[in-house]
């Protein structure tokens, strides 16, 4: 194989990998989600283009602080396909996250999205953990104007590192990124994964698992 052929094969291979790693490219200008359709597709069915209006592509209220009076001390306001039907098939969405002083956004993953976050107020300690076997924590303290990336699928978190409120805006590479909050998924599944499994997984006595589960 000549040098050019090798380069071409590598480009072709990376295109295949890209195609597998991201949501499918749209085959039309837009496919505004039809919330009333019972058709099940990978995403949501499209509304007739004739009935599409500007508000299908719009959201109002992201300047409003979320209510952080909850045990996490944080509130995520999503702007994904549920809020903006025009995002359907476009592979992108965003959130506003508010943090009370010492609030956290607990360890979680987005099964379908990489996240790029910017701090617009206050300061955040952020981090993600690499896959097994290293489970290395990559962490940094951010201030207003700083940006941080959480690679797709990896467990990540944020904590307010300042003394006042903090606010972040993040973009995600899916119209419907999904959230798996680790503590809730593992300890509070319905029905329970099973105390014997959890006790072995966490290497603790079953009573510790019961104690942890009580808090959910």
Ligand X SMILES: *[C@@H]1O[C@H](CO)[C@@H](O)[C@H](O)[C@H]1NC(C)=O
Site for ligand X in 56-115 (CB under 6 A): 67, 69-72, 76, 106
What number of other Cβ atoms are within 10 A of residue 129's Cβ? 18
Task: Give dist(CA 106, CA 125) in Å, integer.
Answer: 12
Task: Give dist(CA 108, CA 134) in Å, integer.
Answer: 18
Looking at the Cβ atoms of 58 and 67, the one nearer to ligand X is 67
- Determine how β-strand 123-129 pairs with β-strand 180-181: unpaired
Taking residues 181 to 210 in sequence order and writing x for each that binds ligand X by CB under 6 A, - otherwise, the string is x--x--------------------------
What number of other Cβ atoms are within 10 A of residue 169's Cβ? 17
Looking at the Cβ atoms of 12 and 183, the one nearer to ligand X is 183
Looking at the Cβ atoms of 71 and 191, the one nearer to ligand X is 71
Convert 42-54 into a string of H (helix), E (strand) and C (coil). CECCECCHHHCCH
Q: Is 9 in the site for ligand X (CB under 6 A)?
A: no
Residues in binding contact with ligand X, number by CB under 6 A = 9
Q: Is 213 in the site for ligand X (CB under 6 A)?
A: no
Task: Give dist(CA 173, CA 90) in Å, integer.
Answer: 9
Looking at the Cβ atoms of 84 and 95, the one nearer to ligand X is 95
- Residues forming the site for ligand X (CB under 6 A): 67, 69-72, 76, 106, 181, 184
């Amino acid at each position: 194989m000549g040098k050019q052929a090798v380069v071409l094969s590598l480009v072709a291979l990376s295109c295949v990998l890209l195609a597998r790693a991201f949501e499918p490219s749209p085959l039309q200008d837009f496919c505004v989600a039809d919330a009333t359709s019972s058709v099940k597709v990978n995403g949501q069915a499209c509304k007739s283009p004739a009935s599409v209006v500007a508000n299908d592509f719009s959201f109002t209220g992201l300047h409003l602080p979320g209510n952080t009076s909850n045990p996490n001390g944080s509130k995520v306001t999503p702007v994904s396909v549920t809020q903006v039907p025009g995002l359907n098939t476009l592979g992108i969405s965003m959130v506003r996250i508010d943090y009370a002083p010492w609030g956290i956004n607990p360890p979680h993953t987005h099964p379908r999205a990489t996240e790029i976050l910017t701090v617009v107020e206050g300061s955040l300690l952020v981090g993600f953990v690499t896959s097994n076997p290293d489970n290395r924590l990559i962490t940094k303290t951010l201030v207003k104007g700083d940006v941080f990336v959480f690679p797709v699928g990896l467990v990540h978190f944020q904590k307010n590192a300042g003394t006042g409120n903090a606010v972040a805006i993040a973009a995600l590479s899916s119209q419907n990124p999904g959230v798996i909050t680790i503590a809730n998924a593992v300890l509070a599944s319905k029905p329970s994964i099973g105390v014997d499994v959890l006790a072995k997984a966490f290497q603790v006595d079953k009573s510790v698992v019961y104690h942890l589960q009580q808090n959910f």
